[in-house]
Copies of this chain bind each other. A is one copy, B any other.
Amino acid sequence: MPKEKITIIGLGVIGGSYAIALKKLGYTVYGADCDEDTVRKAKERGIADDAATCADAFIPDSDIVVIALYPKQVESELKRIAPLLKKGAVITDVAGIKSHFTQRIESILPDGTDFVFAHPMAGREKKGIDYADDNVFKGANFIITPSERNKKSSLDTVERLAREMGFKNVMRLTPEEHDKIISFVSQLPHAIAVALVNSDDRKFDTPRFVGDSYRDLTRIANINEKLWSELFLGNKQNLLCSIREFEKYLDVIKKALENDDKQALEEEFVRATKRRTEFNKEL
């Protein structure tokens, strides 16, 4: 069977990295991005076999379409390209939240096409094609949230691409499970990092004094505000839940401090060390 032809819509840091990875693997890769400069770079650097500011010319010829746009743009872009999709085409996305649009996306999908919801868990602090790099996929997690409508063959196709691109763990979850987990393992850490950096009162010249711990905890405070405000608001109930749960445990530490309760502090530290060590084994 000849290798599939793949169109990637959105050549930002994730879409661009998909293009680089898939082209290296021998697929025919078409790239589309509304930014002319990005299209020019994609062509110049050979990131895609062909590229344009509009995907329309590529869609009828594509077996797979990756919509690598911000969550809110996925639906409108799909509506636009729907009439052009090839029979049997598999469409997939890269959005970091799922529950909010799964049903709406499926309702506008033409017969004979299949949409596989996917979340490649590999981000960068920087945005844009200049930071596209397929190395970020190596060893990373990839979550698929199958729907009842999905054909097994489509799910397998997207899983195969993920593994070929270097993702290590490809997992299948419901959209609701995905969004709950993501609110804890990804969105909560970003909320914390942002709050930590912003709470610096600057009475002192803080940057001179930071060590590894502060650096580690605030690296992700360098954040794409347009994307992440969408991700946060599109998953607000889960994220609020995760923040409140986190605050409960911060309260335990505060109370222990207020009460000079060394034993309570030690218990929290021992529990945290034990849990973090389990992660180390796994990772």
Chain A residues near B (Cβ < 8 Å)? 121-123, 140-141, 143, 169, 171, 177, 180-182, 184-186, 188-201, 203-204, 206-226, 228-230, 232-233, 236, 239-240, 242-243, 245-250, 252-254, 257-258, 260, 262, 265-266, 268-273, 275-280, 282-283
Task: Determine the main DSSP class of A at the interface with B.
Answer: helix
Q: A250 to nearest B CB, angstroms?
A: 4
CB distance from A72 to the nearest CB of B (A): 11
* Chain B residues in 8 Å Cβ range of A209: 121, 141, 143, 171, 181-182, 185
With a CB–CB cut-off of 8 A, which chain B residues contact A228? 265, 269
Q: Known A171-B209, A209-B141, A266-B226; judge A218-B279 contact (CB<8 A).
A: yes
Copies of this chain: 2
Inter-subunit contact B214/A217 (CB<8 Å): no
Q: In the bound complex, do residue B169 and residue A272 qualify as a contact, i.e. CB atoms below 8 Å apart?
A: no
Would A199 and B283 count as touching, CB distance under 8 A? no
Q: How far is the CB of A210 from chain B (nearest CB, A)?
A: 5
Is the Cβ of B207 less than 8 Å from the Cβ of A283?
A: yes
Residue of A121, A122, A188, A194 contacting most chain B CB atoms (<10 Å): A194
The reply to whether B221 and A233 form a contact with Cβ atoms under 8 Å apart is no
Docked complex Cα distance between A223 and B236 (Å): 31
CB distance from A237 to the nearest CB of B (A): 9
Is there an interface contact between A283 and B210, defined as CB atoms closer than 8 Å?
A: yes
Given contacts A189-B217, A240-B254, A269-B225, is CB(A262)–CB(B249) below 8 Å?
no
A-B complex: 10 closest residue pairs judged by Cβ atoms? A225-B269, A207-B282, A195-B249, A229-B265, A195-B250, A194-B272, A221-B272, A225-B266, A221-B276, A199-B246
Chain B residues with Cβ below 8 Å from A252 are 195, 198
Contact A198 B272 (CB under 8 A): yes
Residues of B within 8 A of A226 (CB): 266
Indicate if the CB atoms of A213 and B186 lie closer than 8 Å.
yes
